[in-house]
Structure 1
C-alpha cells in the first residue's frame, strides 16, 4: 500500500491499481487478492475457515437461545454485551466435544461431559455482582422436583450496591435442547429479603414442573437489588445490582 501524491486524489481501479481513501488519506495498492465467497466455500485451502465458521455459528446460536430463555430471571440482560461475554463459554463447551469431527462439534456434547458441567457452573455470568460471585449460602436441590433449599443465607457478608435495602432471588430451572434449540423455563416465586437477613433457611419450590423430555436441566438463580422507599420498591439497574449464577447442570 502506498500514498497517492498529486493535486487530485483518484478513486477506483485504474491499470491494475486500486485508488481509495483510508482514514482521510488517499492511498493506492495493487488490485486483486483477498478472498471471495466462492473461494471460501470451495477451495480446499479454506477448509479450516469453513469448519471454524460452522462451529462459530452453532455456538452463537446456542448462546442466543440460552440467553433469551433466561431473561426473566434477571428482568432483562445483565448488560449490553452479554452475548459477547458468553461466547467464550460456548466456544469452550463446543471444543470439549470429542465425538464429532472438527466443523461439526456441538455445545451439547461438551456440556454432557463432567468437564463441561463444571465449566458452566464456574463461569462468571455477571462478574460485577458480588452476591453471584461469593454465593453466601449453602443449598441442595431435590432430585425429583428440582425444588431449591437454601441454608445459612448470610446477606450481611456481601457488599450490597449503594442505596439497596432488599434483594430478590429468582430461582428457575431451564430445560433446554442445544441441538433443536427448544427451551422451557420453570420458575419459583421470587424470594424478596431485607439486606439485614443474616441467617435462615428457605424452601423455594418450582411453581410449574420442568420439561422432562428436554436433555439438559440448568438450575439458575437470578439476583436483583431493590431500594425501599416507604411502601414502594424501586429496582436498581447498576451492573453490580444484577446477578446470575448456575446452581447445577443435569443431563
Structure 2
C-alpha cells in the first residue's frame, strides 16, 4: 500500500492497482488478495469464518425477536447500542451450548445450561438506568401467580431523574421460546405515581398467566414522566428508561 502522488488523485482500478481514499488520503495498492463470496463458501481455510457467520446470524435472529418482545417496556425510546449489547448476551448464551459442534451452537441450548438463566437474569439491560438503584427496595415474586410485591416502599428513596415528576412501573412475564422464537407477554396494569405516593407496599398483578410455551422471564421496567399543565410527557433522557429481569423460570 502506498500513498498516491500527483496533481489528480485516482479512484478505481487501473492496471491491476486499486486507487482509493483512506482517512482522507489517496492510496494505491495491488488489486486482489481480499476475500470473495465463493472463497468464503468453499475454501477450507474459511471454515472458521463460515462457522462464525452461521452462529452470528442465529444470535442476530434471537436478538431481533427478543427486542421486539420487550418493546412494550421501552416503546418510543431508542437505546444506544442496545442491539450490540444484547448480541453480547446471546453470544455468551450460545457459547454455553455443548450439544452441538462449532458453527451449529444455539442460544436455546445455552439457556438450558446451568448458567444460562443466570446470564439472562444478571445481564445489565439498561446501564444508564439501573433499576435496582432507582428503586432500592426488596422485590418478591409469588411462584404460583407471578404477582410482584415491592416491600418497604418509600417514594422519598426513589431516584427520580432530573425534571421528572412521575414514575411509571411496568411488570410482566415474557414467555419466550428460544427455539421457535415465539413469545407471549403477560402484563400487569402499569402503575404511575408521583412524589406524594404514600403506600409502603406496591403490588403488581398480571392480567393473564403464562402458559409455559418457553422460558418465563419476570421483567420489570420503569419510565419517568414530567407533568406539564396537567398532562404527562415521557422523559426520553438516557437515564429515563430502565429494564431488569427479576427472575427466570
Give the direction of change, closer, same or farther, for the CA distance of 1:32–1:156 in structure 2 (3 Å limit): same
Whether the 8 Å contact between 2:131 and 2:243 is mirrored in structure 1 is no
State yes or no: 1:125 paired with 2:125: yes
Whether the 8 Å contact between 1:156 and 1:197 is mirrored in structure 2 is no
Structure 2: how far apart are the matches of 1:104 and 1:237? Answer: 39
Whether the 8 Å contact between 1:156 and 1:198 is mirrored in structure 2 is no
The residue number in structure 2 matching 1:56 is: 56
The residue number in structure 2 matching 1:242 is: 241
Tell me the TM-score normalised to structure 2 length.
Answer: 0.90
The residue number in structure 2 matching 1:227 is: 226
Structure 1: how far apart are the matches of 2:77 and 2:113? Answer: 27
Give the direction of change, closer, same or farther, for the CA distance of 1:232–1:21 in structure 2 (3 Å limit): closer
The residue number in structure 1 matching 2:107 is: 107
Q: Which stretch of structure 1 is more off in the superposition, 5-14 or 182-191?
A: 5-14
Q: Tell me by how many angstroms 1:203 deviates.
A: 2.4
Whether the 8 Å contact between 2:170 and 2:188 is mirrored in structure 1 is yes
The residue number in structure 2 matching 1:44 is: 44
Q: Which stretch of structure 1 is more off in the superposition, 17-26 or 88-97?
A: 17-26
Give the direction of change, closer, same or farther, for the CA distance of 1:49–1:135 in structure 2 (3 Å limit): farther
The residue correspondences of 1:15-164 to structure 2 (distance < 5 A) are 15-133=15-133, 135-164=135-164
Structure 2: how far apart are the matches of 1:16 and 1:35? Answer: 16
Q: Which stretch of structure 1 is more off in the superposition, 231-240 or 94-103?
A: 231-240
Q: What CA RMSD, in Å, does the superposition of the two structures yield over aligned residues?
A: 2.1
Whether the 8 Å contact between 1:171 and 1:188 is mirrored in structure 2 is yes
SS in 1 for 2:97: coil
Structure 2: how far apart are the matches of 1:105 and 1:81? Answer: 24
The residue number in structure 1 matching 2:4 is: 4
Q: Tell me by how many angstroms 1:46 deviates.
A: 0.7
Give the direction of change, closer, same or farther, for the CA distance of 1:172–1:76 in structure 2 (3 Å limit): farther
Structure 1: how far apart are the matches of 2:82 and 2:242? Answer: 12
Which consecutive segments of 4 or more residues in structure 1 shift more than 6 A? none
Gaps of 5+ in 1: none
In the alignment of these two chains, the number of paired residues is: 249
SS in 2 for 1:27: strand
